[in-house]
Structure 1
Amino acid sequence: MKTTTKSLLFFLFFVPILMFGQTTLTGTVTEQSTSIPLPGVNVVIKNTTTGTATDFDGNYQIEVNNGDVLVFSYVGYQTIEITYSGQATLNVQLNEDAAQLNEIVIIGYGTTTKKDATGSVEAITAEDFTKGNIVTPENLLSGRVAGVSVTTSGAPGSGSQIKIRGGSSINASNDPLIIIDGLPIDNNGVSGSRGVLASINPNDIDSFSVLKDASATAIYGSRASNGVIIIVTKKGKSTFSATYDAQYSFGELTDRIDVFSGDAYRQLVASQPINGTTLDESLLGTANTNWQDEIFRNTVSSQHNLTMQGSLFKVLPTRFSFGVTNQEGAVLTSEFERRNLSLALNPSFFDDHLKINLNANLSFEDNRFGDSGQIGSALRYDPTQPVYDPSSPFGGFYQHIVSGNLANGTTNPVAELLQRNNTGDSNRTYGNLNFDYKFHFLPELRAVLNIGFDETEAKTIDITSLSSRIQNLDKVNSSSGYQKRTNKLLDGYLTYNKAFDKIRTEFTVGYSYQQFTNEGNNTGNTRDPLSLPSTFADPDVVLIGFFGRANLTFLDKYLLTLTYRRDGTSRFSKDNQWGDFPAAALAWNLSDEDFLKESKTISSLKLRAGYGITGQQAFFGANDIYLNRYRGGNVNSQYQFDNAAIQSLIASEINPDLKWEDTTTMEFGIDYGLFDERVSGSLNFFQKNSTDLLFTASVADGTNFSNSIIQNIGELQIQGIEFSINADVVKQDDFTVDFNFNATLLDREIKELALGQDVRTGGISGGTGNNIQLLREGFAPNSFSVFKQLYDNSGNPIEGAFVDLNGDNVINDDDRYLKENPGADVILGFQSNINYKNFDLSFNLRANLGNYVYNNVNSSRAQYELLQDNAVLGNVPTSVLETGFQRTSDVIISDIYVEDASFLKMDNITLGYTFSNISKHLKSVRLWGGVQNVFTITNYSGLDPEVFNGIDNIIYPRSRTILAGANFKF
């Protein structure tokens, strides 16, 4: 007892000495770029358990001794260590750690890291987004991800054609599944809207994850054959900050389709007979009108975004944003306006065991649709006539008049645009509520519940003044419509994470329910008594899924992922309602082996192999084609029954055997990092085989209620190689240079069609019922089916003369051959960012090699016979001088119109300067300028080599746009 007492007294004697040797250190931790305080930063004395965390205002307090090493760490920021040297106050600034932020990859129903990913997944965060005049979110990815192509029309706010690895289907959808904060959205839009992504503000997006192979996408089963794009929106933060972005753009079309000027046209009409008949020069006017200049305009557009984030009531991390976009189209009257409201609440409770994420978005989209068909009219309209005629009885616009009436043929395109008001308004509400609970008694187990909702209501009104068509008639044709689409989601799943000595495990099991509805009505033309109003309500589409995934990691080097999903859909009959979609993937972190672990060159090296089956059920047709369905016949088709007139019913086509498309994917991949990850990227080899293709094909007469129905026929194979490299070329404190380069090689081949029969597709203008593309076994989809042109000794094409390929001395469809296809063989992307002190420069390049386009502008318009159509004169492209062709019908199927459309484009270049620490409240201002659609290098003779589906029949042209903007951070 005495010994114990002495020991206690000895200890108490030294306590004051120990306490005297310690100092209370205080300070504030802030973010270096914005000087905003950071709450929750860990402040720990190195090699001890002594530590604290910063409060809401970034302040901390800790007891330290001289020589202690303080470690400051915070998720997403670079950890720093500082040796304490006796000061009373120590303020610290942390830098964002881009490598750490990029390490997390969002996947289906969870997250992983780049090191642990076994599938082909690419994550793109905000700092990597494509810059420039970005109005719709998919363009943030343009040229940025290997295997992903984004083709956007020049129309304001227009949607894009997005393909991942060339799609997977022929006749069904090739659109990827897009998921916003856990909510899979419907790729079908509503009338009155520009597209399903047009209502989403790109400023609200934090990151994209692109899932490409089946081992990554199979967790989404029946909708994943075309790949998956997961969009994560920005969340609330505890620290207060505010930003205001303003952008103005000034667009101008830099190219036109070459047609004859007024003076050149008068000379042409005077000198060029048609089939020996002289043209009627009395129809010529005295004006010189460039009709393309008259229907196109220079544009002024703007975007404004205000964002505020911080803790609401000091406990609720919140983000609020408001955005306004106004975009003029290059075609007269074409306009797009969008207003967005976004709210994100991200509280956590019970010591972070329960995390709640609420994302609520409102979007209001207002459109005026300028009729892009008038671009074709502008090419054809007589350039010797004026736009306006004060004596005209057609609303003051010049029109072709024959015998006092409006002549048959093209009408004044300016009048058509200005005297039509075709508008559409859509209001969209979408978002989700996510609960993520980590069990107190079993912290390895998490339960996640996700509730999603997406509803769009749209109204359309189309009013056309009849004064453009009927003399002195001050009346209008008018129609209006209404449509509502809803999308409801309920997901629930459990995730269990546990490490057992040398093995790490993660197991996920869950259930998903999603319902889609679509209904609406249309008034018909209110002036026309024969145009009756109509209503529609599509059968609801319900998708149910059960899914599971197991991730096993051994020694942190060997990884195995097993995935399974069982999906059911209301679109198919009970016999085919359910589908099974399994997948497996293996990976080996080779760089963690002893023989590479100490390598100074190879910092990471992973080998991957995956196999899986995914599905496709988004065909274009009725949602209930497996049922006996009837539709009302013509209102005049009635029969009498018991003194009552009964309207007739018509049976619709039926296919109870319809089922999913299945796509089987095999992939081998290499992920690499060199020189401490200064250089990184991947190399992938893949093959996709889609079977039971959903296809509208002919059936035998009398076997159904239509001569063609949706069937499961055929097989498509796509093989490819992807390569990507990211490099930090220069990485200094005040000077950085980085770049991303990606390349994709694709080969597509139709392996099987029903009964081995060819299928003609690709309708074109000019003549009646002409098709220019063909589906044939052994060839790429939509290959161009054309006659082989004959040329004279001087190299000039001979009109109507083609090679007799089968040698039967008759030129017919049997002599058509397949010449190339619209799909690019190679897709390239290059992006670079250069930062020097406060200056920043970025640019983006894209290239397609081996893609071909059928020039339908020339094939249907560049012939002399079109100079006069009955009593109306019309213009033609000047390319007619090169061919000398007289008749459209003789030449329209010639291979002369299939052109190599390979191209190199610089999509954008931007230069900015940031002013920092301007005042106590204004942290920084970035001023920037740039150019969108900088240049295009191509041998294609048309307006733009990048067209949908490879047929150029008057595209909406893309403007070159000068950009100026400012970003304010508070």
Structure 2
Amino acid sequence: MQNNLVVIKSADGGAYEVKAIVTGKVTGENNTALSGVSVQVKGTNKGTVTDAQGVFTINANEADVLVFSYIGYETQEIAVSGKTEINVTMVASNKQLDQVVVVGYGTQRKIDVTGSVTQIKGEEISKQASINPISSLQGKVAGVQITNSGAPGSSPQIRIRGLGTVYGDPNPLYIVDGVWYNDISFLNPADIETLSILKDASAESIYGIRAANGVVLIATKKGKAGQALINYSGYGGWQSVTNQVKMANATEYATLINELSERNGAEPVYDDPASYGNGTDWYHQILRNASVNNHAISLTGGSEKNSYSFSLGYLNQQGVVETNDYTRYTALLRNDFQPFENLKLGYSVTGAFSNSNDIPGGIFHQLFSAAPVVPVYYADGSYGDPNDYNVGDGSNFNPQVTIDFFNQKSKNYRLNGNAYVDLKFLQHFTFHTSVGGEYGESEVRNYLPVYKATLKQQNSTSQLSIQRAETRNWILENTLTYANKFGDHNITVLAGQAAQRYKSYGLTGTAYNVPFNSEGDLYLALGDEGSRNVVDYGDLSTIASYFGRVNYSFKNRYMLNASIRADGSSKFYGDNRWGYFPSVGAGWVISQESFMQNQKIFDYLKLRGSWGKIGNASVPSNLSVLKVTQEPYLTAIYNNQPYTGASITTLVPPTTYWERGVGTDIGLEASFLNKRLSIEADFYNKKTEKAIFDIPVLGSLGTSSGSIVGNQADFQNRGFEFSATWNSSLSKSLSYTIGGNFSINNNKVLSVSTGANPIYQAVGTTGSNNFNTITVVGQPIGAFYGYQVTGVFQSDEDAAASLQSTAKAGDFIYKDQNNDKVIDGKDRIAIGNPNPKFTYGLNTTWNYKQFDLTIDLQGVAGVDIYNANLGLRYGGENFTKDFYDNRWHGQGTSNSYPSANIGGGQNYLANSFYVESGSYFRIRNAQLGYTISPDFINKWKIKKLRVYANAQNALNFFNYKGFSPEIGGTPTRAGVDVDVYPLYATYNFGVNLTF
């Protein structure tokens, strides 16, 4: 080779052919490198793509023409003409928003979309140190609220434009490569190509049966024509609890317990509180800095006829609680083939295996409650016994014992796949058929050994419990698409049919006196034969669907979208089995009108509006089936013959039918200043009709479930979303992007089938009927409920003369809401809202030469938390340092905090003292990276090498007095902090490598 020219002898030994090795770099208008740009030799199947630095290399004849194409940019053709270096600056397409986004059953140009759809690239998702890909979206998408849990391997809670449903699964429908899922914890974030969120009813209704909570469409990475690429990405680091709650030390605890004892007319429990010193810090004893390691390697490549993608992933995450850890292995294999010009087929398979060492339920409440006067161990190595320190029942445990003798392991296996065929015929028609499925198995094994650690913490009979669950789901879909463009008209018609089956099976078994085996080989058969008990259960449901959609545009100026879907579900009966979900959307690109041609403000301006219906069948089967039990005690003997009796132990509604969502959306999209600034704003109104709720009922009615489930209420989410993005450069070496979003959502119950009677729940409270959440007309779902505190009684005389004659000094003063001169249950009101009113995020990326800096900010406001930890007391629990410092302990000492008797008298009743602001602002992610110069690494055949340092959730700003204000929960029980696994900050160092 000389001067980048290669002389190649022809196959027949005749003429010689001169080829050039052409290299170059592709950049955007702001001089930033563009990766993934297609570089094709015109008229052939030879091609490549640019790497992360925008660099490409390709063999070409001197007479060849290279075609450069990239979504959102004008395609360019450049003749080789003997050149060996070609640098290209791509120009943004004059057809604004010509980029393609993934929508239901296909793709659309952004300009043609009439609904509210947000698409995130996989590189944005994998950049964060998140275990679940949904966590990476926090603060990045307007109208999407994500609540994370600190538990290793746990799935985040996601709400799209507020609560779409209450009973069953309130999370959105996930569709990965055409297969429907309830959860995507099996998916490695590094395997995602794009993620689209469908937010309004018009975009969602094509998935009618499960669209009530929004739809998340995920496409996994596929190979591209060109040279095979090997990519490795990995990071290692640690996680530590932030904003740790400071508890009272041993001296302060003993002081408070003495005050409590004296207030109740008893002698002090501890003679000399000061003698106990600081005592045991149980959080410090049990919590730790936890390591986290994540590695992924992939191989991608292909030709014009075949592309492939294969990846492996490994994750090991320790929990911040000692002994807690989670390990996950993932694999992805995807092949796409095009044997003929009109035929394309392929498949994708993902597999995941995870195992974890679990923690005991209630451990965080134990750490909150444990008495600091109790040592972890005595001098002889035995466990500190709370009974030796006269602690009450509420703290008669040593958390170290709880951890040491808890032995539970969980395993999960998942295998998911999809295969498809696309056949094009008669020029404008495409037939698509696909079949996919999900195979899953899980097992939880819990072993309780024989031990004696303290007076209360001991066990004389070993027990083995095993839970196993299996999932066998499949989905079949067929669609026929007609797409044609004639003149100024562009039309696409879709017709489809689908069938699904969901099957689950579970088994639980227990056995006693199972001998301990250090190898971990524990089986039910090892236990006493008479003690063994096995129960199995299962569920089967099927769905049949028919759907269609028409997309029409005229002159890229006027757009119309209409769809309808009919779903039939075996979960309902008779005429109620079928649900019908229509939608319509329209768009107007105002900037294309002639009267806008001479204006200088807008580069692009589009108005869109939509309306649609969506549904929810994510509820248990057979809700309207009356079940009976046949227990031995119900058997009667008559004439020496046994007659089996039965008892009705459930209450069911006469019929249950689809809950439906009806939504309207009006949106505005615009860009300014030579397309550097773009904005998008939406107003929406989403109403859920005949929502399925469970209403608690009295046990005296003879029910075992304690509730009746059915179509009970109507509620509404109404809100506004705004997002903006600014792209610019300050010089050839410095470019940046700043994006922000803000959303408002108001959730309100419109009607309840129980009339004026609310739906109550008790979460983390003690006492009969001590409800602390309420669902009632005019309030949000699951609003906090209780008495309004107006102060604290300063003397027994003041209390005796009040409406709370049984109260004492240091007790809460409750407001007489109805002015009937009596403090009773009628004075309870809504005292807080667990549903955030405001969510926002600010994301920015800066590139300077080979450095890159990404900072993501995120927060919520207008939300409350019910701190149930403070009042959930049975005697002897510890107190927070904040409570110790601010408590009432004598006249004039406090008019906001009660005495040490916070859990006694009437103080334990649900009230506004326990409600705190859940608003927060945090630096969600900060990452600094450096890309090694290609000149330095090319000699090792490395195409890209980037190293980075990352910090996630390092800085959090809030006034809540718990670990974190990010508290999830099911809709009518959300926002209650009791035994919540705390969040943590993650610090890690990583590398991205391509060769």
- Aligned partner of 2:814 in structure 1 is 802
Distance in 1 between residues matched to 2:270 and 2:424, nearest whole Å: 85
Aligned to 2:291: 300
Q: Distance in 2 between matches of 1:617 and 1:583?
A: 19
How far apart are the structure 1 equivalents of 2:474 and 2:720? Answer: 37
Matching residue within 357, 374, 385 for 1:385: 374
| Structure 1, 88-97 or 609-618: larger mean CA deviation | 88-97
Deviations 1:406-447 (A, max 9, x none): 9885321111112111110011001211211211xx121001
Answer whether contact 1:485 1:519 (CA < 8 A) is retained.
yes
Q: 1:672 to 1:793 in 2, by over 3 A?
A: same
Residue of structure 1 aligned with 2:667, choices 669, 685, 700: 669
Query: What amino acid is aligned across from residue 960 of structure 1 in structure 2?
Result: A
Structure 1 residue identity aligned to 2:593: E
Indicate conservation of the 8 Å contact 1:606/1:671, yes or no: yes
Rounded to whole Å, the distance in 1 between the matches of 2:312 and 2:234 is 12
The equivalent residue for 2:231 is 243
Q: Does 1:946 align with 2:939?
A: no
Separation in 1, partners of 2:834, 2:25: 50
Q: Show the counterpart of 2:929.
A: 912
Tell me the SS of whatever aligns to 2:961. coil
Paired position in structure 2 for 1:934: 954
User: Residue 343 of structure 2 aligns with which residue?
Assistant: 354
What is the match of residue 202 of structure 1? 189
TM-score by length of 2: 0.85
SS in 2 for 1:411: coil
Check if 1:743 corresponds to 2:742: yes
Structure 2 contact 383–453 (Cα < 8 Å) conserved: no
1:525 positional shift: 4.1
CA distance in 2, matches of 1:341, 1:429: 9
Q: 3-state DSSP class of the match of 2:364?
A: helix
Change (3 A) 1:291 1:35: closer
Number of positions where the alignment pairs a residue of Structure 1 with one of Structure 2: 909
8 Å Cα contact 1:248-1:302 kept in structure 2: yes
C-alpha separation in 1, matches of 2:391 and 2:123: 61
Paired residues of 1:900 and 1:940 also in contact (CA < 8 A): yes
- In the other structure, the counterpart of 2:894 is none
Deviation readout 1:789-843 (Å, 9 max, x if unpaired): 1326999995142121212221111011222311111111111111111101111
For 1:604-657, what per-residue CA distance to the aligned partner results, in whole angstroms no more than 9, with x for missing partners?
Answer: 2111111111111223x4x12333544443x55544578676765444544452
Corresponding residue of 1:899: 916
SS in 2 for 1:748: strand
Query: 1:302 touches 1:326 (CA, 8 Å); kept in 2?
Result: yes
CA deviation profile, 1:356-396 (whole Å, cap 9, x unmatched): 2311011001111112511211222221222123657xxx3
Question: Residue type of the partner of 2:200?
Answer: D
Q: Distance in 1 between matches of 2:552 and 2:913?
A: 57
Query: Is residue 309 from structure 1 mapped to residue 328 from structure 2 by the alignment?
Result: no
Q: Which digits, 9 at most, give the CA deviation of each residue in 1:666-703, with x for residues without a partner? A: 11111112233221121111111111111223689989
SS in structure 2 at match of 1:166: coil
User: Which residue number corresponds to residue 8 of structure 1?
Assistant: none
2-structure distance, mates of 1:648, 1:115: 67
The equivalent of 1:567 in structure 2 is 567
Partner of residue 107 from structure 1, selected from 85, 89, 103: 103
1:194-242 superposed Cα distances (whole Å, 9 cap, x missing partner): xx33222111111111111111011001211111111111112232111
Return the match for 1:153 from 149, 152, 160.
149
CA distance in 2, matches of 1:485, 1:707: 28
Give the aligned partner of residue 845 of structure 1: 857
Q: Identity across aligned pairs (percent)?
A: 26
Q: What's 1:333 paired with?
A: 323
Query: Aligned with 2:983: secondary structure?
Result: coil
Q: Distance in 2 between matches of 1:101 and 1:718?
A: 29
Deviation of 1:95 (Å): 7.6
- The match for 2:251 among 246, 263, 271 is 263
- 2:677 aligned with 1:658, yes or no? no
Counterparts in 2 of 1:953 and 1:593: CA distance versus 1, 3 Å: same
Aligned-partner SS, 1:203:
helix
Q: State yes or no: 1:436 paired with 2:456.
A: no
Q: The residue matched to 2:871 in structure 1 has which SS?
A: helix
Provide closer, same or farther for how the CA distance between residues 315 and 398 of structure 1 changes in structure 2, counting only shifts above 3 A. Answer: same
Amino acid paired to 2:84: L
Structure 1 residue 768, shift from structure 2 partner: 4.4
- Give, in whole Å, the separation in 1 of the partners of 2:579 and 2:187: 32
Structure 2 letter corresponding to 1:54: K
Do the aligned residues in 2 keep the contact of 1:235 with 1:318 (CA within 8 Å)? yes
Runs of 5+ consecutive residues of structure 1 not aligned to the other structure: 1-22, 45-50, 65-69, 188-195, 868-872
SS of aligned partner of 2:605: strand
1:446 to 412, 426, 430: 430
Q: How has the CA–CA distance of structure 1 residues 498 and 270 changed in structure 2, closer, same or farther, with 3 Å as cutoff?
A: closer
In the alignment, which residue of structure 1 is the partner of 2:448? 464
Cα distance in 2 for partners of 1:702, 1:279 equals: 45
Q: Partners of 2:484 and 2:591 in 1: how far apart?
A: 24
Q: 1:546 touches 1:566 (CA, 8 Å); kept in 2? A: yes
Give the unaligned 5+ runs of structure 2: 1-16, 49-56, 514-526, 799-808, 887-896, 969-973
1-side partners of 2:742 and 2:389: how far apart?
62
1:499 corresponds in structure 2 to: 485
Show CA shifts across 1:872-921 (max 9, x none): x8566541442242141422322122122211111111101010320241
2:572 aligned partner, one-letter code: F
Specify the alignment match of 2:868 in structure 1.
Answer: 856
Partner of 2:12: none
Residues 878, 79 of structure 1: alpha-carbon distance in 2 compared, 3 angstrom cutoff = closer
Q: 1:130 to 1:744 in 2, by over 3 A?
A: farther
Shift of 1:845: 1.0
The code of the aligned residue for 2:232 comes to Y
Distance in 1 between residues matched to 2:716 and 2:390, nearest whole Å:
60
Match of 1:775 in 2: 775
Structure 2 counterpart of 1:866, which letter? G
1:59 offset after TM fit, Å?
2.3
Secondary structure in structure 1 of the residue aligned to 2:610:
strand
- The residue that corresponds to 1:961 in the other structure is 986
For the residue of structure 2 that corresponds to 1:209, the secondary structure is strand
AA of the residue aligned to 1:181? D
Match of 1:289 in 2: 280
Query: CA 1:939 to 1:98, structure 2 compared with 1: closer, same or farther past 3 Å?
Result: farther
Q: TM-score, normalised by structure 1?
A: 0.87
**What corresponds to 2:760 in structure 1?**
760
Residues in 1 aligned to 2:75 and 2:388: alpha-carbon distance in whole angstroms = 84
Tell me, yes or no, if the aligned pair for 2:244 and 2:962 is still in contact at 8 Å: no
**Distance in 1 between residues matched to 2:126 and 2:312, nearest whole Å:** 22
Any conservation in 2 of the 1:52–1:60 contact (CA below 8 Å)? no
Please tell me the residue identity of whatever aligns with 1:945. Answer: P
Instruction: Go from structure 1 to structure 2 and tell me whether the alpha carbon gap of 1:242 and 1:36 turns closer, same or farther (over 3 Å shift).
Output: farther
Match of 2:520 in 1: none
Aligned residue in 2 for 1:17: none
CA 361–806 in structure 1, closer or farther in 2 if over 3 Å, else same: same
C-alpha distance in 1 between matches for 2:36 and 2:689: 54
Residues 583 and 610, structure 1, Cα contact 8 Å, conserved in 2: yes
After TM superposition, the structure 1 stretch with the greater mean CA deviation from structure 2, 326-335 or 599-608, is 599-608
Partner of 2:838: 826
Q: Given that residues 439 and 472 in structure 2 are in contact (C-alpha distance below 8 angstroms), is that contact kept between their aligned partners in structure 1?
A: yes
Q: Answer with 363-372 or 788-797: which moved more.
A: 788-797
